[in-house]
Structure 1
Amino acid sequence: MGQPPAFEHPPAQQYPAFSPGPAAPHGPFPAPQAPVWPPPAPFGRRLGAYAIDGVICLFLFLAVYLTVGVGGAVTMSSYVGSEGLAALMVLLAFLLAPLSCFCYFWLPTGRSGQTLGKRFLKIKVVDAATGQPPSPGKAFGRTAVMFLLNLLSVGTVLNAVLTVIDEPQQRSLHDRAATTRVVPA
C-alpha cells in the first residue's frame, strides 16, 4: 500500500482584467444624477401667501384671546373673590393665542406642505432632499425659526431680503434652517 498521490492544485483560471473603459468614469454603475427640482415659487406668491396666512393668524389670535382671555376673565370676575382666576385666564390667553398661530403654520406644513395661503396661491413647502412635504419635525423647526425671526422686525426684513437675493434657489432663513424649499404646487 503505497502513499496517496500528492494533491495538486488545478491550474489557476485567468480572468480578464476589469477595465471600465473611457465611456464609464464611474465604473459599471451609471453616474449619479443630481435631482431636478422645479424652479422656486415666485417671491410675489410667497409674500402673498404669507400675507393671507398673517390675516388668518390675526383672526385666530383674536378669537383665542377674546374667548379664553376676555371671556374667561369676565366669567371669573362675576364670582366673588376670583380676581386671581380672571388674571390667570388672561395670562392663559397670552400663551394660547400665539401657540394657536404657531400650530396654524406648523401642522399643515408638516402634513401637506401648504397652509391656507399657500394652497390659495398654489405653492408648497417641500423637503429639499426628497421633494416631499417636510416631516413634522422639519416643519416644527421651520416654523420656530420663522417665529423667532418675526419677533425681531429686522429679522423679518432680513428674511425677505435674503429670499430675494438668493438668486438660484430663493431660500429664506427658515427654509435654510429646516432644509426646505418653496415651489409651485
Structure 2
Amino acid sequence: MTDAARQALEAEVLNRENDDDSAKATEKVRNFRIKHSSLASIEARIAAQLIDVLLPLGVTFLVSYGSFITMSLSYSNVVGEVSLALCFVYWLFKDGFGGQSIGKKIMKIQVIEHATGSACSPPRSLIRAIPMGLGIIDCAFALGKERRRLGDMAAGTSVIRAGSGSR
C-alpha cells in the first residue's frame, strides 16, 4: 500500500469515528427528557431570586456607603455608580456559569438547557434575564406545568433541582 493510500485510509477511519461520536451525542440529546419530579419548586426559585436580588444590593449599599464616609463626594459617586453597574451585570449573567447563581447554589437548584440538559451558558443567561423586566407577568408563567417563565422559554432553559436525574 502506498503512503498516499495509507493516509487516505487513516483519514477515512478517523472521519467515521468522529461521525459515530457525533451520532451518539445526537442520540443522547434526542433522548433527553426532564422529569417533572426533578423540576425546582416554586418556593426554591423564589428564595433563590430573593437572595440574588438582596445580596448584590446589600454589597452595593455597603460599598457605596463605605466610599461615602471615606472618600470625597466625586470619588464616592464613581464608586457607587460602578458598584451599581456591577450589580446589574451580575443580574444579567448570574445563571451563566455552571447554571447556578449564588442564590441557586444556596437553594440547590440549577438552570439547564431544556433540550440538552447542559448547564446554562452566559448568552442564554442574558436572554433569560431580559424578560424579568416584565415582573409578575414573566414570573406567572413559572406556575404552569413545566414551571418555565417567559425568560426560560425565550432562552430554552429549565430550572431543576441540582444533581437530580433528568432522564
TM-score normalized with structure 1 length: 0.61
Q: Following TM superposition, by how much is the alpha carbon of 1:102 offset from its aligned partner in structure 2, in angstroms?
A: 2.8
- The equivalent residue for 1:62 is 61
- State whether residues 105 and 115 of structure 1, in contact with CA within 8 Å, keep that contact through their aligned partners in structure 2: no
- The equivalent residue for 2:109 is 123
Residues 66 and 158 of structure 1: CA distance in aligned 2, closer, same or farther (over 3 Å)? same
TM-superposition CA deviations, 1:105-124 (whole Å, max 9, x none)? 44552111111211111110
Structure 2: stretches of 5+ with no match in the other structure: 1-26, 163-167
Paired residues in the alignment total 133
Structure 1: which amino acid aligns with 2:60? Answer: F
Structure 1: stretches of 5+ with no match in the other structure: 1-29, 78-85, 150-154
Residues 145 and 102 of structure 1: CA distance in aligned 2, closer, same or farther (over 3 Å)? farther
Pairing 1:133-152 to 2, within 5 Å after superposition = 133-146=119-132, 149=133
Larger RCO, structures 1/2 (Cα 8 Å, 6+ apart): 2
The match for 2:71 among 71, 75, 86 is 75
Pairing 1:9-24 to 2, within 5 Å after superposition = none
Pairing 1:43-122 to 2, within 5 Å after superposition = 43-68=42-67, 70-71=68-69, 75-76=71-72, 86=74, 89-90=76-77, 92-93=78-79, 95-122=81-108
- Percent identity over the alignment? 25
CA RMSD of aligned residues (A): 2.6
Structure of greater Rg: 1
TM-superposition CA deviations, 1:138-173 (whole Å, max 9, x none)? 112223433xx1xxxxx3221222211x22x11112
